[in-house]
A and B are shown apart, each in its own frame.
Chain A
Amino acid sequence: AQTVTQSQPEMSVQEAETVTLSCTYDTSESDYYLFWYKQPPSRQMILVIRQEAYKQQNATENRFSVNFQKAAKSFSLKISDSQLGDAAMYFCATCRGGSEKLVFGKGTKLTVNP
């Protein structure tokens, strides 16, 4: 079974600063994917970034980047130059290769202070 743990229920950051959200996971799969999703107050879930476990290089998407530590089963999200629009619930998730089933963490609520 796969599990995802997000140890920070809430985080806050000042506008333009950098924040890192933590995520650890457990899986027995050798082929799996990791994701960070954002759910703003309007509720529509949006994919922020994804990482294929077989890739050693950390994924980046503009201001968003991950620190993927496979041996430690850690997958943190770094948001640089935080903007007010980044305020949302952030969910870490994983799925095994060959499956669409996402296993989510409990989420981290990010507040961005002006």
Chain B
Amino acid sequence: KAGVTQTPRYLIKTRGQQVTLSCSPISGHRSVSWYQQTPGQGLQFLFEYFSETQRNKGNFPGRFSGRQFSNSRSEMNVSTLELGDSALYLCASSGLGLRDEQFFGPGTRLTVL
């Protein structure tokens, strides 16, 4: 079974631009969560989608948004990029139940210049 895939793996943008990151969960998984990882703040939860609905949201500004498609693939978008948005963005998927293990993707490394 293929693991969680994230595209692109690396991205360089400039301040003020917007970016869209993609996550394909493990086949059959319906929940997708997004995390931001930085050296200063560590791992922080962004949001979680389940069956195309946002089920949980972290404490990030409205510039961070996401969505999930009917095939469970998810995208997250960051508008008006700031230098502080430079981070590793991790996606995790889990199966049917809330007790299921979350499987993480390799991440997308975003650099904002």
Contact = CB atoms under 8 A, between A and B. Distances in A.
A39 to B, nearest CB: 8
Contact of A104 (B43, B55, B99): B43
Interface in B38-66: 42-45, 48, 50, 55-56, 58
B71 to A, nearest CB: 19
A34 to B, nearest CB: 13
A7 B103 CA distance: 26
Contact of A101 (B58, B88, B105, B106): B58
A100 B102 contact: yes
Nearest to B43: A104
Contacts, number: 52
Given A45-B90, A91-B43, A102 B102 contact: yes
A44 B88 CA distance: 11
For B33, B92, B102, the residue with the greatest tally of chain A CB atoms inside 10 Å of its CB is B102
Interface residues of B, number: 25
Contacts of B31: 100
Interface in A36-50: 37, 42-47, 50
A101 B45 contact: yes
Contact of A102 (B45, B98, B103): B45
A99 interface: yes
B94 interface: yes
25 contacts: A42-B106, A43-B88, A43-B107, A44-B104, A44-B106, A44-B107, A45-B90, A45-B92, A93-B43, A99-B98, A100-B33, A100-B50, A100-B55, A100-B56, A100-B94, A101-B33, A101-B45, A101-B58, A102-B43, A102-B45, A102-B92, A103-B45, A104-B43, A104-B44, A106-B42
